[in-house]
Structure 1
Amino acid sequence: MPQQTIGLLVMAYGTPPTPDAIAAFYTHIRHGQTPSDALLQDLRDRYRLIGGMSPLARITTAQADALAATLNARGGELSFKPYLGLKHAEPFIEDAVAAMHRDGITQALAVALAPYDGNASVQDYHARAQAAATRLGGPAIVPVSGWYRQQKFIRYWVGQIAAALATIPANDIRTTAVVFSAHSLPKSMPGATGHYRRQLEESAQSIARAVPFTHYETAWQSAGKTTDDWHGPDIRELTRDLYHRGGYRTFVYCPTGFVADHLEVLYDLDIECRAVVNALGGRYIRPAMPNAAPLFIDGLAEAAMDAMAQAMGVPA
């Protein structure tokens, strides 16, 4: 019996592929509103300070390929073909769905590379994919959601934090704080509070239970440069408060709301947040991101198979 090919739609935020594409990328993020020269120069400077461009495009492609390879290694009657769909850069989500349709894919799994999906920003990934499939008459798409609860995702961060704590002198553990973070959202956005916050807090609690450390907090980072009121506490302000009011001197930053090295990690944390810690005289530690680490990819594969089993009646 020939194998059935299942489309594997891997969706991510996207990043400009070259410096010349930064303006178009930023305009797309701003729903077609051209950024001011000052905002555009600020973004260009951020990319320059992390080495020129973000590694996100390369990492996202590696994640999609690794996930397909892991699923295909299971054998059986199904084969998985990866399609990359991005929110703010080419190939867009709609392009990926159209490619699946042209290839004769009738069933697909859709994975957004964002652990916490309880907000309109991440839900838009799946809405755009479903809308495109409806317009084209297929494929039938099964979303893979809530995978931050997957045990291998939790185990990945447990291992990273344990390794980080092992580098800290025993006498300094008492004044060490672990900070879990996700991307802030405007308070006006549906889902900016409530479910999205609970997902971050639930995730932090699940990880913290498995690692014996003294103190952890949750915070928000990477708020946009807009006039909106953004969700807090901001990670830099929380750091200052932990230092001055809590007496903490070592800070382990775990941006569990992200899964790759990119601007929000390499600049917002490794440059901006590190500068705050350095100015305070503290110690900054940021464990490695999941990227295409096998344990993380295995967890995504198990979440995908669970979603398929539930929606299609296929054994997980």
Structure 2
Amino acid sequence: MSLGTKPTGVLVMSYGTPENMESVEAYYTHIRRGHPPTAEQLEDLSARYRAIVGGVFPLRENTNRQAAALQRTLDERAGPGRYVCYQGLKHAAPFIEDGIAAMAGDGIREAIGIVLAPHYSSMSVGGYLKRAQEEAAKHGIRFAGVQSYHLHPELISALAERVRRGLDKFGDARGDAIVLFSAHSLPKRIEQTGDPYPEQLLETSHAVAMAAGVDRWQFTWQSAGQTGEPWLGPDILETVDSLAREGVRSILVAPVGFVSDHLEVLYDLDIEASRYAEERGVRLERIEMLNDDPQYMSALADSLAAAEKELEDGR
């Protein structure tokens, strides 16, 4: 149990998204570390949001639903009041610092944090946890974070079931389809530091393929930033082009690096990659995202319990 009668705070972290079209510029400026985008850059991002059915609002709601589902799961396991979930976003309000401040205002003295991303990188999850840890220290809150949960059995099971259902979309051509596992690319310089991100993604992909009974699969990257430096590749469009030239006509994309429907899925895959594949005579389908799936919530809850043990052991 946590110290005294106070509940343990749970900081649920994710990248964040603008709440409406009017806030896209402020959001993009924050991503660019305070540097406003050019008119062309702003229009490009805004056009992507406009292209998604329903605009940006469903993206924000996805995170709200995930946080609420995790709260319900924790309440079912430990009883109401044992844990209290707070949100902390990287590039939109409530920011990570806002979530910690809210905990402090509620008298929380111990907290555990988890990012809605299963794979660790110093450039992604590591950055979230560092910000949360530093802010928690300012408020006198003891904090422990989950670094990764990329091989949790419930996560693998949920993804494998989605791959099996996704392949069923191809009907009689199911056996000819190839599964493309994908994740957000990062700058190639992470390879020089021994960052575990690429290897963890391959481990997840292999585990899901084995659980789903899939023999034909590859891993590819997507959604690389335009920063003027090399990013991890090949990009999914390059992979689709290569597979098309090899005669592949059915592709199922399994974006295992993502856990909900957002821009990198709804635009980069469902619109851009799908259109690119169609132009090359390839049918491209995608698995359903995890969102607030009960198995995913179970994986998060288990991972949080393991992190909380660090707090208990440190008392």
Structure 1 residue runs of 5 or longer lacking an equivalent are: none
* Change over 3 Å in CA distance of 1:103–1:55 after alignment to 2: same
* Change over 3 Å in CA distance of 1:273–1:54 after alignment to 2: farther
CA distance in 2, matches of 1:58, 1:107: 27
Structure 2 residue matching 1:178: 3-state secondary structure: strand
Structure 2 residue runs of 5 or longer lacking an equivalent are: none
CA distance in 1, matches of 2:74, 2:213: 33
**Equivalent residue number for residue 179 of structure 2:** 178
Note if contact 2:126-2:147 (Cα within 8 Å) is conserved in structure 1. Answer: no
Shift of 1:8: 0.8
The residue type paired with residue 312 of structure 1 is E
Note if contact 2:119-2:197 (Cα within 8 Å) is conserved in structure 1. Answer: yes
Note if 1:74 corresponds to 2:77. yes
Instruction: Map 1:126-205 to 2 at 5 A.
Output: 126-137=129-140, 139-170=141-172, 172-188=173-189, 194-205=195-206
Instruction: Select the residue among 35, 55, 61 that pairs with 2:58.
Output: 55
Shift of 1:99: 1.0
* Change over 3 Å in CA distance of 1:108–1:190 after alignment to 2: farther
**Equivalent residue number for residue 264 of structure 2:** 264
Note if 1:229 corresponds to 2:209. no
CA distance in 1, matches of 2:237, 2:104: 45
Note if 1:93 corresponds to 2:74. no
Q: CA RMSD in A?
A: 2.0
**Equivalent residue number for residue 38 of structure 1:** 40
The residue type paired with residue 272 of structure 2 is E
Shift of 1:24: 0.7
CA distance in 1, matches of 2:192, 2:87: 26
* Change over 3 Å in CA distance of 1:46–1:222 after alignment to 2: same
Percent of aligned pairs sharing the same letter:
40
**Equivalent residue number for residue 16 of structure 2:** 14
CA distance in 1, matches of 2:64, 2:152: 22
CA distance in 2, matches of 1:276, 1:54: 26
Structure 1 residue matching 2:82: 3-state secondary structure: strand
Note if contact 1:176-1:214 (Cα within 8 Å) is conserved in structure 2. Answer: no
**Equivalent residue number for residue 306 of structure 1:** 306
CA distance in 1, matches of 2:168, 2:153: 22
Greater mean deviation of Cα atoms: 87-96 or 279-288: 279-288
Number of residues of Structure 1 aligned to a counterpart in Structure 2: 311
With normalisation by structure 2, the TM-score equals: 0.93
Structure 2 residue matching 1:71: 3-state secondary structure: helix
